[in-house]
Each structure stands twice: as structure tokens, then as C-alpha cells.
Chain A
Amino acid sequence: RPVVHAAPSVRRFARELGVDLSQVQGTGLANRISEEDVRRSAGQPSVA
């Protein structure tokens, strides 16, 4: 099992933005990574 905890849709989103999930700090429960965490890591503005 990979150490990153992210849903399949978030993992795909990270691939599309070219973000390495192992470098993303997840802010959710059990350090889960959200789409917002990926966006922040990619330096993209958050969407309201």
C-alpha cells in the first residue's frame, strides 16, 4: 500500500497537474490529500 492517502480522482488530478503526491502534505483526516491540497502544492489559485 502506498503511503499517500488520496482518492482515485485526486490521484488522477495530481498526475494531470504533474504533482508528485509523495511531496504533498495532506490536510485531511489521517493526512488524506484533497484536490485543494494538490492545487496548493502546484501553486495554483484555489477555487471558491
Chain B
Amino acid sequence: MTQNSVDYDLLVIGAGPGGYHAAIRAAQLGLKVACAEMGNVGGVCLNVGCIPTKALLHAGEGIRGAKHAEDFGLTFGEPKMDIAKLNGWKDGIVKRLTGGVSALFKANKVTHLVGEARFLDAHTVQVGGQKVTARSFIIATGSEPANLPPFPVDQQKIVDSTGALMVPDPLPKRFLAIGAGAIGLEFAQVYHNLGSSVKVIEFAPQVVPAADADAANTFAKILRKQGIAIDLGTKANGFTERDGELHVELEDVTTGEKRVEVYDRVLVAVGRRPRSANLGLEVAGVQVNERGFIGVNKKMQTSTPHIYAIGDVVGNPMLAHKAMKEGLVAAEVIAGKKSEMDVVAIPAVVYTTPELAWVGLTEAEAKAKGYTVKTGNFPLSASGRAMTLGDTDGFVKMISDAKTDLVLGAHIVAPHASDFLSEVGLALEMAATVTDISLTVHAHPTLSESVLEAAENIHKQAIHIMNR
């Protein structure tokens, strides 16, 4: 096929965060771009992921906030949640944002092709009823919830993250989340704040297994204090339904002890698997590993060099902002720029209250890499700003290399941690030292001062705590 005869310079498959970033950046760089999407633009993140869960968390937070207002003398009647209105408000936000992506496509002259895509050969993709040819391709097909065979999802009693977004009326009295990652914990707090009795179980010995152990344990303690039960080292073997109730068999992973607990709704949140099947990758020569992830190099090229892949379908961490960055890199490479996926760290956030947010290495990872690790802590109980917000549960832990004073990572448990974590992300990319952060003036009173104080604590010079 000659370059002149193709329909597009680039066909992006999937309009999630990675796909729409790739399509728009490629169009900005002068390429003729189409984006194929079988569902709604915005993908999982906008439609059934990041955005709607944050909306529900905010709504639940309103109820918690109203209760806490008693501390400063503000009382309300018993909170009443109109669940239909809550679901409608959440859906409205999603609609506005997906509409925004469509408008951005139009403004950037990206053609939106509707339909499921499948490679017919290395330069031709069938999208819905039509055949589309392109010079380059970006596969951005994302992921879907992993299943747990004893708990087949019906989106009523046994739900995955998509089903959990539709808050039922009446609310489930007893809610079980299987998996204490970001998805399980965020939904646990939503249902807890709305009024369900909630438990989260986790196979691993800590919540959010990828997180720093100190941060994860402090975080779990705070969630338990709020009334969310968490059973670590626990798995769910199966259930029987009797009189509409789910009798779930739980097992302690270490002792093998079994028990049965009764729930009304169970969320399966044990991970996500890549969507790489039924894409015709074989005919395009695109290789996939045994777990279904597409292999790529730093330029996001697959084993077929003019076919790129980005986002969840290429592997962990499965985060929207990682997909977005990879999308930009792929688009820039295709447009002839010398771009590559070259980042020091990708931040991760659990959007509960408080948030658990981190960037860079955990203490264990830093030690494993051979650094002489120094840590500095600052508890929110010593933060004036945290006191004025009525939320003093949490801390900042900073990790540095003793030899060079370079910042290696930060782990934050605090309200709005995700917003002031970005400071440490920039520090990591700039190769900043702990001293650089210490010498930066932080506004007072702010939660971000906790980062400054944790940095100062590494040097035993924090002001508002005793330095140990």
C-alpha cells in the first residue's frame, strides 16, 4: 500500500483517556486522524471510572461533613439522600465531560468512527461496517474488570465497578467489597457514607498492596476508625443465596479458618484485565504476552513498528494519567518527533477521605534498589490547616537518599493529598534534593506545608514537631 492511498495518517482504536489524548495531539501536529470507539467517547475513566466514582465520593463526603459540623456547632436534621437525584447528578457530569471530548474532536478535526475495530491486515482495520486504512495505528482499547469465578457478576447483587456506580434504592444494608485496592476502598467509603454497613476484604496483608507499608497501614487505621471494617489476609470462596441474602464464605489465608457472613451486595474489585482479544492482532503481527498485555518499547511501538499501543492494554500501572502521557508520546513519535516514555515517577491516588497518594519509591523499593534510605514524617495532627478543616488524621512520609539528599518518593495520607502531591512529582522529575524542598516557601496555613515539614524532618529540623 502506498502512503498516498490511505484514508488516514493515524487511526486510534479507543477513545479513553489514552486514545483521545493521542488523537488530539496527533491532530495538533498536523496528522489526519480518526478515532474508532465502540462505546462512548471518554472510555472507562469518564463513563464508568474516575469521574463518576469521584462524584459519588464527593456526595458521600457531604453526609460525613454534615455530621462533623456538630464539632463547631452546626447541626442539621438527619441527612436524607434522594438516590435517583444522586445518580442523575453523577450521570449529568459524565454527559458534560464526554460531550466535551466530542467537541474537542470536532475542534481538532479528529474523525470519530463508531464501531468495534478489528485488524484485517497490518494496514487495514474494520470499524463497524467499513474498512479503514491508515499509515499508523494506536491501540488504546483499555481494560475491563477481572472476574472472580465464584462470584459471577449480575450487576444487581454481585457487581463490578460499573454496577457499583448505580447506587440502588433502597441502599444495600450490608455491603462487601472484595479487594482493598483503590476501587474497592473508594466504593466502600461511598456506601459507608451513604449508610450501608461495609466490610472490605483483601488477600494481601495490607490495603493497597502497591503502596508504602507505613502509609497503607496508617490509611487502613483511619478508615477503620470511620467505621469501615477491613479484613486483611482474607479471601472469599463463594456464596449461597437464601431469601435474597448472600451468605458469603470467607477464609483466613494464614490459618485456613472459614466463616460465613451475610451481605446484600458484593463488589468484585480484584483487578482489571487488558482488552486485547478479538482485535485481530495476530493478522497485524502484534505480540501479546501470556497475561494479554501488548508489549511495547519506550516509543510505545509494538512488535509491528507502525502499530503503537498505550494505556491499560500495555500494562500496569493502570492509571488514566499514565495512559494520557503514553498517548501523547505515541502521537508525537508518529508525527516524527523524538519523544519517548521517559518519566521518573507516575503518581497514584486513592480518592477517599483522607486520600492515600504517593509518587516515587516506597521505603521498601528504595532499600531494594540499594539506596541509603532516610525518611521524614510529619503528622497532620500538628498542622494548623488540618485542624481548621476538622481533619487531622494522616501524615506525610518523605523518602530520600542519604548520600545525595535526592528526593526518592513521598507518601501522603491527607485530605486533598492528590492536589499537593504534584509538588513532589515535579521535585522527582527535576531531580530536586530534600534541601530544595526545604528552601521553598510554602504558603501558610496550607496542607502542603506538611510536605515541607516532612522534608525538614529528614534533616531533623522540622519546626512544629520534635525531630526523632
Contacts and interface: CB of A to CB of B under 8 A. Distances in A.
- Chain B associates with chain A: yes
Which of B342, B404, B406, B433 counts the most A-chain CB atoms under 10 A from its CB? Answer: B342
A15 B408 CA distance: 24
B264 interface: no
A4 to B, nearest CB: 8
Given A1-B369, A7-B431, A30 B339 contact: no
Given A7-B429, A7-B430, A30 B338 contact: no
Contacts of A29: 433
B344 interface: yes
Contacts of B430: 7-8
A15 to B, nearest CB: 4
Contacts of B433: 29-30
B414 to A, nearest CB: 24
A11 interface: yes
A1 B344 contact: yes
Contacts of B343: 8
Contact of A30 (B345, B404, B428, B429): B404
Interface residues of B, number: 19
A11 to B, nearest CB: 6
Contact of A15 (B339, B360, B369, B405): B339
Nearest to B403: A30
Interface in B384-419: 404-406, 408
Contacts of B338: 12, 15-16, 18
B429 A32 contact: no
Contacts of A18: 338
B11 to A, nearest CB: 26
Interface in B355-373: 360-361, 369
Contacts of B339: 12, 15
Contacts of B144: none
B429 A8 contact: yes
A1 to B, nearest CB: 6
B340 interface: yes
Contacts, number: 35
B361 A1 contact: yes
A8 B342 CA distance: 8
Given A7-B430, A29-B433, A1 B408 contact: yes
Interface in A1-48: 1-2, 5-8, 11-12, 15-16, 18, 29-30, 32
A30 B431 contact: yes
B348 to A, nearest CB: 16
A7 B342 CA distance: 11
A17 B172 CA distance: 60
Interface string B169-192: 000000000000000000000000
Contacts of B404: 30
A21 B45 CA distance: 35
B406 A30 contact: yes
Contacts of A30: 404-406, 431, 433
B15 to A, nearest CB: 27
Contact of B406 (A5, A7, A8, A16): A5
Given A1-B361, A1-B408, A5-B406, A32 B342 contact: no
A1 B406 CA distance: 11
Closest 10 CB pairs of A and B: A5-B431, A15-B338, A7-B430, A30-B404, A8-B429, A16-B338, A32-B431, A11-B342, A30-B406, A30-B433
21 contacts: A1-B360, A1-B361, A1-B369, A2-B344, A6-B431, A7-B431, A8-B342, A8-B430, A11-B342, A12-B338, A12-B339, A15-B338, A15-B340, A15-B342, A16-B338, A18-B338, A29-B433, A30-B404, A30-B405, A30-B431, A30-B433
Given A1-B369, A7-B431, A15-B342, 5 more contacts: A1-B428, A5-B406, A7-B430, A16-B338, A30-B431
